[in-house]
Structure 1
């Protein structure tokens, strides 16, 4: 699946184009798409097939994944993806230290039944943070109407 984040003057757009040619798209508003980039990095690194992008790849729309009623029933891997994404953003912004990532994931995951936290090392986290930082920097350098394209 191709993930395309388009930079607009006052609005950014997230579009996901599946292999069968179908797509789903949403206006992100003026927000920097760091959360969407973090989802990509986490789900790719840990091969999460039922995270945000995995669900889109399987046919769900971005709008469906924004519906609170649907979100409640998505399953433990979707929640794991969200927890890991938020915490990657935290270490990316400096709100948490890289060394704290695994502890934060384990602490937050215990509040949800059925979440199985994958084995991960500090090196895994450092590599993930490095990729996240590189993609965010790449986004910052993209001109208006330019695109960041990712393959999931």
Structure 2
């Protein structure tokens, strides 16, 4: 699946093109799409096929994945993806240390039924953070109307 994040004048657009040619797209508004980039990085690194992008790849629309009623029933891997993306953003912004990532994931996951946390080590987390930082820097260098293209 091709993921395109288009930089606009105070508006950014996320577009996903599936292999079958179908497309889903949503205006992200003025926010920097770091969260969407974080989802991409953690889902690729840990092969989370039922996270945000995995759900889109299998046919859900971005709009559906923004619906609170649908979100409640997406399953534990989707929630794991959310927890990991949020914490990757935290270490990317400096709000948490890279060494805290694994502990934070386990702490958040402990009260969620059926959630299996994958094996993680500091080397893998550092690699993931580097990838996230590089993609965010690439995004920052993209001019208005330019696109960040990713493949999932």
TM range (shorter): over 0.9
Q: Which residue is equivalent to 1:118?
A: 118
CA offset at residue 19 of structure 1?
Answer: 0.3
- Partner Cα distance (1:10, 1:123) in 2: 36
TM superposition score normalised by structure 2: 0.99
SS across alignment from 1:26: strand
CA offset at residue 10 of structure 1?
Answer: 1.5
Size of the aligned set, in residue pairs, is 152
- Partner Cα distance (2:74, 2:29) in 1: 25
SS across alignment from 1:35: helix
Q: Which runs of 5+ in 2 are unaligned?
A: none
Task: Find runs of 4+ consecutive structure 1 residues off by over 4 angstroms.
Answer: none
C-alpha root-mean-square deviation of aligned residues, in Å? 0.4
- Partner Cα distance (2:68, 2:42) in 1: 22
Q: Which runs of 5+ in 1 are unaligned?
A: none
Q: Which residue is equivalent to 2:68?
A: 68
SS across alignment from 1:95: coil
CA offset at residue 111 of structure 1?
Answer: 1.8
Query: What aligned pairs does 1:33-112 form with structure 2 within 5 A after superposition?
Result: 33-112=33-112
SS across alignment from 1:115: coil
